[in-house]
Amino acid sequence: MQFTNPSEWSLDEATLGLLADLDESAHQINDLRPLDPAVLRQVKEKLLGERVFSSNAIEGNTLTLRETTLILQTGSILSGPRRREAQEALNLGDAYRQIEQYLESPNDFWNQTTFLELHRKLMTSVNDDLAGRYRACDVMLPGAMYQPPGSHLVDELMNRFYQILMETGLPEAKPLHPLVLAVWVHWAIARIHPFEDGNGRMARLWQDLILLRGRLTAAIIRPEDRKTYYDSLTAADDGDCNPLMQLVCRRVQDTLQVYLTAQEEADELKDWASDLAGEVTTRDVQRRRLDYERWRHAAERIRDAFERCATLISNSGSRTLQVQVHRYDLIDQSVWERIGAGDWARRTWFFRVWFRHERQTVSYIFVFGPHVPTDADEAANVRGALVGLHVSEQNPGDERSVLLEDLKDSPTSCRELIFMDKKLLRRRKACDGNFEYDDNVSTVQVAKEFIEDVISKKLIL
């Protein structure tokens, strides 16, 4: 079988852009170090349950997230037909804790003995006959385009696998982004399929080990990612690593954001409870919470509309046109209230829409900030302290994005989206240069017309 070296992988613009975003988030985490121990412990416990649940669910384990978390917390084993599934959850939880200990050793990175010991931990009391042993028989994967190599090749391929790992760690080696190496490790283990059982979980475990050694976080590939995940592994077999790289990059970004959000909440809420008790009544708290939840729902609907429209274009079969949406976490209530009071806050990106047509690329970032009053506000009855969803443009090679408010020649008319009185208002620039509002437009209409503007007026001139 062909066994590509990770340094030979070709990364496209979308992958490079996601890696740049990932590095930015990782720098934000590093700037906050050391994280609050209580926050760190809480997030690790939450993520452990999600990691174990997701990795097992992809392999067909029927335990729910709640059941998985309870088993990990109590160490209890279910009786009856689900006993094996509970044991799988316990074993995988122990394996994830074990790789945390490997981070303290400089040599376990490429030690085959350690690799086999981890598989033994994974399979103990699940299938003891196979635990910690490379397969001695050929296997077939139903429906797979590429079948695993014969068992007589496993030792040779695993030796080659660890040789490549060692070579990437040499001082003279070309430095690889840790995510690139982690994804290659994931693909290589899945491709060699060295065990009769547990290959997917081992691939994701060893990938997380590489990510953690690179001062990143685990990639939680979710059950709903299953089709995308397997399709991306097939694409990597065909020589295109980018779909798998992008999926893993998004999932690492998600877990990084969990740490960022938890630390920010811990920082912002230190004095929140005592201050709030003296300032507002219980009814005020409930009203503000309801207002935020309604606003949150409306905001998520606009992002979902952009994602649906982008997916339709990406699935249309065009080889020259791509539209992708990258998510960021929605701001929490405390940040929302601060912005509504007129303050610009940090890290309020909501989502990015990335366009490529032939060799042209451009991306637009939708970011939350205070509403910008205009002469058109009175006619549209726009009133009160509002949180606006603004649009900024970022061109290739430029690290900074610019609000469309500050661009005189932007061909896109949309400038700001406002959620008010259960309605979506769109502020746009008219042909005469003045601003006007579209009252109660639909989310799909906003997404569709924005994407049409960019494609027809920016990319296809």
Give Dmax over CA atoms of the chain in angstroms.
77
pLDDT level of residue 71 (50, 70, 90 thresholds)? very high
pLDDT level of residue 396 (50, 70, 90 thresholds)? confident
Q: What is the DSSP string of 189-219?
A: HHHH--SSS-HHHHHHHHHHHHHHHTT----
Give the model's pLDDT for residue 169: 62
Please identify which residue in the block is written with the tokens 């209890």: 76
Query: How is residue 457 annotated by DSSP?
Result: I
Put simply, whether the predicted model's pTM sits higher than 0.75 gets the answer no
Give the model's pLDDT for residue 229: 95
Give the model's pLDDT for residue 395: 84
Give the model's pLDDT for residue 408: 76
Across the chain, mean pLDDT equals 87
CA angle 284, 290, 296 (to 5 degrees): 135
Residues 332-388 have pLDDT tens digits of: 999 999 998 888 888 899 999 999 988 889 999 999 999 888 888 888 888 877 899
**Residue 405 pLDDT exceeds 60:** yes
pLDDT level of residue 163 (50, 70, 90 thresholds)? confident
Query: How is residue 346 annotated by DSSP?
Result: S
Give the model's pLDDT for residue 397: 77
Residue percentage of the chain with pLDDT more than 90:
49
Give the model's pLDDT for residue 205: 95
Distance CA 302, CA 320 (A): 26
Query: How is residue 440 annotated by DSSP?
Result: T
**Residue 221 pLDDT exceeds 80:** yes
8 A C-beta contact, residue 35 and residue 265: no
pLDDT level of residue 211 (50, 70, 90 thresholds)? very high
pLDDT level of residue 249 (50, 70, 90 thresholds)? very high
Q: Which domains are present in the chain?
A: 8-254 (1.10.3290.10), 282-459 (no CATH)
Residue percentage of the chain with pLDDT more than 70:
93
pLDDT level of residue 109 (50, 70, 90 thresholds)? low
Please identify which residue in the block is written with the tokens 């970011």: 367
Average pLDDT in the 132-149 region? 87
**Residue 276 pLDDT exceeds 60:** no
Average pLDDT in the 408-416 region? 84
Element (H, E) at 328: none
Give the model's pLDDT for residue 440: 78
Lowest mean pLDDT across 112-116, 143-147, 231-235? 143-147
Of 221, 209, 218, 54, residue with least CA distance to 118 = 209
Give Cα 364 distance to the centre of its chain.
Answer: 18
**Residue 274 pLDDT exceeds 70:** no
8 A C-beta contact, residue 450 and residue 457: no
Q: Read off φ and ψ for residue 93, nearest 5 degrees.
A: -60, -45
